Each structure stands twice: as C-alpha cells, then as structure tokens.
Amino acid sequence: LGALTSHQQEALRIAFARGFFDVPRRADASQVARAMGVSRQAFLDTLHRAERRLVGQAIQAAGSDEGQK
C-alpha cells in the first residue's frame, strides 16, 4: 500500500473492514463514504484511483507492459 496516498489507504482499509469487498457486500459505497466523512462519489473516485494504481503495479510486477503509456 506504500505507493498509495494516505487517503487512498484509509479508503481501502475502511472499505475492507466494513465488508465492501465481501460477496455479498456487507456495506455499500454510501455507507463507507459516511464512515469516511466524504461523499459517495468522492469515496468511489478515491477507490478507483487506488485500485488502478494497485492493478498497474501488479501488472508491472508480473513483467507485462500492456496498458502502459
């Protein structure tokens, strides 16, 4: 998580702890956003940026350069 901003790390930690990533979900985006004190859209934007960065790192670590610009 070191490559993420502290805000992105917080979003992932709270989402994970509240069950946002569980199947079925125990918390939806609005509930996680409320716990963070931000809007639903702000949470989703932060989450999307964090996921993109983590996926990019995973792909790079696997030795693939697809999707890199």
pTM above threshold 0.85:
no
Residue 5 has pLDDT above 80, yes or no: yes
pLDDT tens-digit map of 42-64:
999 999 999 999 999 999 999 85
pLDDT at 2: 81
Number of neighbours of residue 30 by Cβ within 10 angstroms: 12
Structure tokens given for 51: 């996921």
Q: What is the mean pLDDT of residues 2-24?
A: 97
Alpha helices in 1-69 (DSSP H): 6-18, 29-36, 40-61
Q: What is the mean pLDDT of residues 6-26?
A: 98
Q: How far apart are CA 43 and CA 61, in angstroms?
A: 27
